[in-house]
Amino acid sequence: MMNYFVLGIFIFLLLESFVYTQEVEVVVENKDNQCDAYCFKVLRPMLEHISVMQERWEFCNSSKLANTSSRLDKIESQLVAQEAKDVSYAAAIEETKMKLLEQKSLIENQKNINRKPFQKVGSKYYYIEEIQQLNWFGAAHKCLEFGAHLISLDDQQELNAINSKLNPVNAYWTDINDLSEEGTFLSLTSGVRAKFLNWRTGEPNNADRSEHCVYLFGAYSHMNDFKCSSPKYFICESFDA
């Protein structure tokens, strides 16, 4: 009897479990049927947000592309303009270069016209003028035109060397003078007292109180003070010696 009672309880529980399972399946099935509307409702804000973001991205992307394209066009224009400028500069530089070369050529030609054959005597270079006679100032200026100065003797050795090149009958201006102070003989080149003097006997005599420039007489290598306005030959000494 007891066994039948237990068996009955077991069968009852089994039937209850079956009924519950069916009910759960029905609920889930109903939820599945309702998901379309439900899920759309839940996801709609997210989908709208994604759509907005996509539109923004597309707008930004197209805007960036347009901006980049515009910048590239501007850079290309600048490069073309710069290239044109470079060509213009190159032409200007070439033109200036040609003008400078022309100027250089003219200067060289002028130098060749003015250049005199300086000769090395001892350790220095001299130009000895044997054709044209000028007063002392004109002679000093002419030497400057040659890029030189009137001879400025340092010692007896230099005098002996240059004397061997002179015409014995000619007189040649030197750079020595006492224009600033009578009796004080200065070198025009250095502006200080002449380093070397080799007076002829009786000189300097400052004849007529008007002899303030010194020439060198070729025959004896002697010096004499004389009128600066008197035309004489002259000796130029190069600064490059």
Q: Are the CB atoms for 174 and 139 separated by under 8 Å?
A: no
**Candidate list 205, 220, 239, 241; residue touching Ca ion; CB under 5 A:** 205
CA 147/CA 126 separation, integer angstroms: 11
Residue from 129, 158, 175, 211 touching Ca ion (CB under 5 A): that is 211
Q: Is there binding between residue 232 and Ca ion (CB under 5 A)?
A: no
Under rule CB under 5 A, residue 216 binds Ca ion:
no
How many angstroms separate the CA atoms of 183 and 26, rounded? Answer: 145
Residues in region 40-99 near Ca ion by CB under 5 A? none
Q: Is the dihedral of CA 51, 52, 56, 59 positive or negative?
A: positive
Which one among 129, 158, 175, 178 touches Ca ion, defined by CB under 5 A?
A: 178
User: Are 184 and 178 spatial neighbours (Cβ–Cβ below 8 Å)?
Assistant: yes
129 lies in the site for Ca ion, by CB under 5 A: no
Is residue 158 close enough to count as binding Ca ion by CB under 5 A?
no
**Strand, helix or coil for residue 217:** strand
Interface region with Ca ion, contact rule CB under 5 A, candidates 62-70, 89-97, 208-216, 231-239: 208-216
Q: Compare residues 129 and 211 and give the one whose CB is closer to Ca ion.
A: 211
Instruction: Please provide residue 124's backbone torsions phi and psi, each rounded to the nearest 5 degrees.
Output: -125, 165
Identify which of residues 82 and 180 has a Cβ nearer to Ca ion in the complex. 180
DSSP state letter for 132: E
Q: Which of 124, 149, 212, 232 binds Ca ion (CB under 5 A)?
A: 212
If DSSP codes are grouped into helix, strand and coil, which group holds residue 176? strand
Binder to Ca ion among 133, 135, 206, 230 (CB under 5 A)? Answer: 206
Indicate the pairing of strand 232-238 with strand 148-150.
Answer: antiparallel
Q: How many residues bind Ca ion (CB under 5 A)?
A: 8
The footprint of Ca ion (CB under 5 A) covers: 178, 203, 205-206, 211-212, 224-225
